[in-house]
């Protein structure tokens, strides 16, 4: 019969000869293989001391960017939340007061902005949806935690600090080059 | 007299401590060897290269909950691991650890007891060892433990025969049952492994089976029997069982080295022209290195070969090893 995949093999039921039946050559062969692995380079990475090298377009922990003047870019339009396939993003919008001009770029801003990192699948659709270049994915990893509540990241963790800006240009450059 | 007595007491304590230390570090070595054979690194967090890992394991074992099942036979349940570790420790008494020391004109043998039936003593004590497993497994009142215990006892009985017969050929060569004489004979002539390669192979396989090590670790076969005879054990009682297994490994490595690899002897030993004490030290080091190699060999085999099926185990024991050993024994006697 014609085989479809060319991967089928005819089972051979040949009886073992003397050397195969005493198994010792096979055992020594196996031990030779394992001892070779003894001296091979180890696959283990000592995690906190060493970190794995990420791809240039790695999608990790999110950041909410500020503009050049230090004002938050997010205008709480909700497009990221709509785009999110895991429904991990929620936000509450608020109107900017007169004296808050330096804090928020647009007249509307996110009073509460939360991403549930246990729901998030790090697909990057929020980043694509954002019209204000406010949310980006970075090469940072979400740290582990004992409590589920601590995985709901609010603005305190998401918005970058004014004096510690987070560089997202590496990933962005590679994405645009690809396009 | 008093010097000899003091030396003997020191020796007993030293061997006791050595056995414990080697058993403790065998657990570390096992994990390291397993990891290295599988392209991993193994424990490396406790101390430099994870060297304090046995200590951490010990602390863990002692602080775990001590659990005795309500339906168990309490006295025997506690007796089991104790008996197992006792027999594991007793065997080391007759092993010659090195050439004799000479201190202040007195010859001090590096052997706790040079009894003239050393080989018989070892075989006897080792076969008592299975009682620890049997009692522990039976007293747990658990079907898996019982099955493990039954497996252990039938395995030990089957393999002790072939082991005994292959040792008899050694005894026939030497003409003595004393381990000291067996080593002395090999120091003068050649090592027994060269004279008896087949006997060595039989002894090695039986030693694996006797110590319940893979590929013969059916008594504690996790996939079928949960944990085998120590399913119901927790805390340090479990620790003792595991510890005793490593001690058995140490002792059986020492026995393999003594019976077949010349014990403390190394080639050109008497041509070096060294004093007896230096020679004793060197001899002990060589013996210890041989033991460490065989412990490594045990681990190497464990992480290479899959476990036997029970009928295969019995087939190998009764239909292959015993006839082979008998054939060798009769052939050797005939010549």
- Residue B14 is assigned to a structural domain of this protein: no
Tell me what pLDDT residue B49 has. Answer: 84
Tell me what pLDDT residue A90 has. Answer: 92
- Residue B53 is assigned to a structural domain of this protein: no
The C-alpha R_g of chain A, in whole angstroms, comes to 27
Q: Write out pLDDT tens, residues A59-112.
A: 889 999 988 888 888 998 989 999 999 999 999 999 988 888 888 888 888 899
Tell me what pLDDT residue A27 has. Answer: 87
Tell me what pLDDT residue A106 has. Answer: 86
- Residue B20 is assigned to a structural domain of this protein: no
Tell me what pLDDT residue B163 has. Answer: 87
Q: Write out pLDDT tens, residues B19-74.
A: 888 888 888 988 898 888 888 888 888 888 888 888 888 888 888 888 888 888 88
Give the pLDDT band of residue A113 (cuts 50, 70, 90).
Answer: very high
- Residue B118 is assigned to a structural domain of this protein: yes
The pLDDT > 70 percentage for chain A reads 98
Which positions ≥6 away from B128 have C-beta within 8 Å?
B83, B87
Q: What is the mean pLDDT of chain A?
A: 86
| Cα A77 to chain centroid, rounded | 24
| Cα B38 to chain centroid, rounded | 25
Buried b (16+ CB within 10 A) or exposed e, B258-289: bbbbbbbbbeebeeeeeeeeebbbbbbebbbe
Tell me what pLDDT residue A79 has. Answer: 92
Residues A158/A88, Cβ–Cβ less than 8 Å: no
Q: Which run of H or E residues covers position A114?
A: strand A108-116
Max intra-chain CA distance, chain A: 94
Number of domains in chain B: 1
Give the pLDDT band of residue B95 (cuts 50, 70, 90).
Answer: confident
Q: Which candidate in B215, B216, B305 is best for mutational testing of the A interface (most A CBs within 10 A)? A: B305
Size of interface A-B (CB pairs under 8 A): 35
Mean per-residue pLDDT for B271-294?
82
Give the pLDDT band of residue A152 (cuts 50, 70, 90).
Answer: very high
Residue of A nearest to B320 (CA): A22
- Cβ contacts of B301 on chain A, cutoff 8 Å: 31
Q: Which of A34, A40, A41 sits opposite B304 (nearest CB)?
A: A34
Tell me what pLDDT residue B132 has. Answer: 83
Q: Which run of H or E residues covers position A13?
A: none
Mean per-residue pLDDT for B301-310?
85
Q: At A95, is the secondary structure helix, strand, or coil?
A: strand
Give the pLDDT band of residue A179 (cuts 50, 70, 90).
Answer: low
Distance between CA atoms of residues B92 and B122, nearest Å = 8
Q: Write out pLDDT tens, residues B202-259.
A: 888 888 888 888 788 777 766 777 777 788 888 888 888 888 888 888 888 888 888 8
- Residue B221 is assigned to a structural domain of this protein: yes
Mean per-residue pLDDT for B176-198?
80
Mean per-residue pLDDT for B170-180?
82
Mean per-residue pLDDT for B143-151?
84
- Cβ contacts of A34 on chain B, cutoff 8 Å: 37, 300, 303-304
- Residue B58 is assigned to a structural domain of this protein: no
Cα angle: A83, vertex A85, A87; to 5 degrees: 90
For chain A, the first-to-last Cα distance in angstroms comes to 48
Tell me what pLDDT residue A89 has. Answer: 92
Give the pLDDT band of residue B16 (cuts 50, 70, 90).
Answer: confident
At the top level of CATH, which class does the domain A62-178 belong to?
alpha beta
**In the block, which residue shows the tokens 């039921």?**
A13
Q: Write out pLDDT tens, residues B60-91.
A: 888 888 888 888 888 888 888 888 888 888 88
Tell me what pLDDT residue A12 has. Answer: 81
| Nearest CA distance, B157 vs chain A (angstrom) | 23
Question: Shortest CA distance to B26 belongs to which of B219, B206, B244?
Answer: B244
Q: What is the mean pLDDT of chain B?
A: 83
Question: Is a pLDDT exceeding 90 seen at residue A146?
Answer: yes
Give the pLDDT band of residue B1 (cuts 50, 70, 90).
Answer: low
Distance between CA atoms of residues B228 and B301, nearest Å = 21
Which positions ≥6 away from B332 have C-beta within 8 Å?
B169, B172, B173
Tell me what pLDDT residue B127 has. Answer: 82
Tell me what pLDDT residue A91 has. Answer: 92
- Cβ contacts of B38 on chain A, cutoff 8 Å: 37
The residue extents of the domains of chain A are 62-178
Measured CA distances, B46 to A50, B56, B70, B131 (Å): 18, 7, 36, 36
Question: Is a pLDDT exceeding 80 seen at residue B325?
Answer: yes
Residues A40/B39, Cβ–Cβ less than 8 Å: yes
Give the pLDDT band of residue A56 (cuts 50, 70, 90).
Answer: confident
CB contact under 8 A, A34 and B40: no
Which has more confidence, A169 or A36?
A: A36
* Domain, as residue range, for B131: 66-334
Tell me what pLDDT residue A140 has. Answer: 85
Distance between CA atoms of residues B184 and B199, nearest Å = 19
- Cβ contacts of B36 on chain A, cutoff 8 Å: 37-38, 42
A:115-154 residues touching chain B, CB 8 A cutoff = none
- Tell me the DSSP string of B205-255: HHHHHHTT-TTS-GGG-HHHHTTGGGTT--HHHHHHHHHHHHHHHHHHHHH
Tell me what pLDDT residue A1 has. Answer: 63
């Amino acid at each position: 019969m014609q085989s479809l995949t060319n991967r089928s093999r005819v089972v051979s039921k040949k009886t073992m000869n003397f050397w195969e039946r005493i198994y010792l050559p096979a055992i020594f062969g196996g031990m030779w293989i394992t001892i070779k692995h003894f001296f091979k380079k180890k696959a283990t990475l000592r995690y906190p001391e060493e970190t794995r090298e990420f791809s240039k377009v790695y999608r990790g922990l999110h950041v909410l960017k500020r503009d050049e003047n230090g004002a938050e870019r997010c205008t709480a339009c909700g497009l990221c939340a709509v785009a999110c396939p895991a429904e991990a993003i929620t936000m509450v919008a608020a109107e900017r007061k007169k004296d808050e001009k330096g804090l928020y770029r647009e007249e509307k801003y996110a009073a509460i902005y939360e991403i549930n990192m246990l729901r998030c699948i790090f697909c990057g659709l929020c980043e694509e949806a954002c019209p204000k270049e406010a949310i980006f994915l970075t090469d940072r990893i979400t740290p582990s935690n004992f409590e589920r509540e601590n995985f709901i990241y609010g603005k305190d963790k998401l918005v970058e600090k004014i004096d510690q800006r987070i560089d997202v240009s590496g990933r962005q450059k590679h994405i645009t080059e690809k396009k | 007299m008093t010097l000899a007595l003091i030396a003997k007491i020191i020796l007993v304590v030293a061997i006791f401590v050595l056995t414990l230390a080697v058993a403790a570090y065998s657990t570390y070595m096992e994990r390291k060897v397993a990891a290295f054979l599988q392209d991993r690194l193994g424990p490396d967090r406790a101390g430099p290269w994870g060297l304090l890992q046995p200590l951490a394991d010990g602390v863990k074992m002692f602080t775990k909950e001590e659990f005795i099942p309500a339906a168990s036979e309490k006295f025997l349940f506690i007796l089991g691991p104790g008996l197992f570790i006792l027999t594991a420790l007793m065997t080391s008494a007759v092993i010659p650890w090195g050439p004799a020391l000479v201190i202040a004109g007195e010859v001090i043998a590096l052997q706790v007891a040079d009894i003239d039936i050393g080989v018989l003593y070892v075989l006897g004590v080792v076969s008592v060892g299975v009682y620890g497993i049997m009692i522990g497994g039976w007293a747990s009142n658990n079907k898996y433990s019982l099955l493990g215990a039954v497996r252990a006892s039938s395995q030990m009985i089957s393999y002790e025969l072939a082991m005994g017969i292959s040792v008899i050929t050694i005894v026939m060569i030497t003409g003595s049952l004393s381990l000291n004489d067996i080593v002395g004979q090999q120091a003068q002539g050649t090592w027994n492994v060269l004279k008896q390669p087949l006997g060595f192979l039989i002894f090695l396989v039986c030693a694996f089976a006797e110590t319940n090590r893979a590929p013969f670790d059916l008594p504690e076969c996790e996939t079928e029997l949960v944990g085998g005879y120590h399913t119901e054990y927790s805390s340090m009682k479990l620790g003792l069982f595991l510890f005793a297994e490593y001690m058995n490994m140490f002792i059986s490595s020492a026995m393999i080295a003594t019976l077949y690899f010349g014990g403390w002897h190394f080639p050109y030993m008497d041509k070096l022209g060294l004093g007896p004490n230096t020679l004793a030290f060197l001899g002990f080091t060589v013996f210890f290195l041989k033991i460490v190699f065989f412990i490594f060999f045990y681990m190497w085999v464990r992480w290479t070969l899959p476990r036997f099926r029970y009928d295969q185990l019995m087939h190998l024991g009764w239909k292959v090893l015993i006839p082979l050993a008998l054939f060798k024994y009769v052939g050797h006697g005939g010549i």
